[in-house]
Structure 1
Amino acid sequence: MESFTPLTAALGGTLIGLAAAVLWLGNGRIAGISGIFGQLLPPAQTVLWRLVFLVCLVAATFLAARAFPQLGVGGVVPAELVPPPAAWSVPVPVWLIAAGLLTGIGTRIGNGCTSGHGVCGLARLSLRSLVAVAVFFSVAILTVAVTGIV
């Protein structure tokens, strides 16, 4: 955690909360990324707002990283994806595909993701979201303890 910066963390959290509030107040929808993305295939009747939200999410992140590289995790050097442990000898594409599939399966089983449960669910005082967030954090702590990857 040598790269923790409270100012950028607070700014990022504020922007995430603001985006969730705007989507909820303006569209009546919860800003759970897995739910928004998951309803694209097969297409739901409400595809347009989902596509706009996801494109803006990626575009804003890209633009912010280019405009303010010093605010990132690595300072002026952009952050990189965590490679697979060397002892496992797993190719990076396989590592990324497995991570994506496991994340997708987990969000389907958990009926939501960290953004839906952690940001929106806790704000709505949802007991289900509180349990989900406790499980997310417990598994994350266990994973870091077991793998040593931070």
Structure 2
Amino acid sequence: MIYWRNYFYRFGFFISRKLPCKVISIGNITTGGTGKTPTVIYLCRYLQEKGFRVAVLSRGYGRSTKGTIIASNGNGAQGTWQETGDEPYLMARKLNNVPIIVDEDRFRGGLLLIEKFNPDIILMDDAFQHRAIERDLDLV
């Protein structure tokens, strides 16, 4: 399945769209328990210390809702972990001044992050195999 999806991207049947800010994808070739979310938290804090406006975009795996949800406007968690997913909820509780949006359509969620919060950098959690958004950097 992944082979064919990558094939379709490589030969232009599927396209990656560019968001008008820097995008860093944090992911892995395996799922679960590999330290992606702690890495996102660390990078958010590090980039903030360097003076960047940072935001997080996540699919929100395991959540009970659909569509675009603001998990945090930068002032703590909004909603429950069931509504946003457990990892975005954890990040929302741990990160100050970092807006977090969950959306199964990451491009739509990214556009909303830019419209509402104007970040310099968007960190995409667990997005290594997500190709619909062009990335400036993949951390695997």
Query: TM-score, normalising length from structure 1?
Result: 0.28
Identify the structure with the greater strand proportion. Answer: 2
Higher relative contact order at CA 8 Å, sep ≥6: structure 1 or structure 2? Answer: 2
Query: TM-score, normalising length from structure 2?
Result: 0.29
Identify the structure with the greater helix proportion. Answer: 1
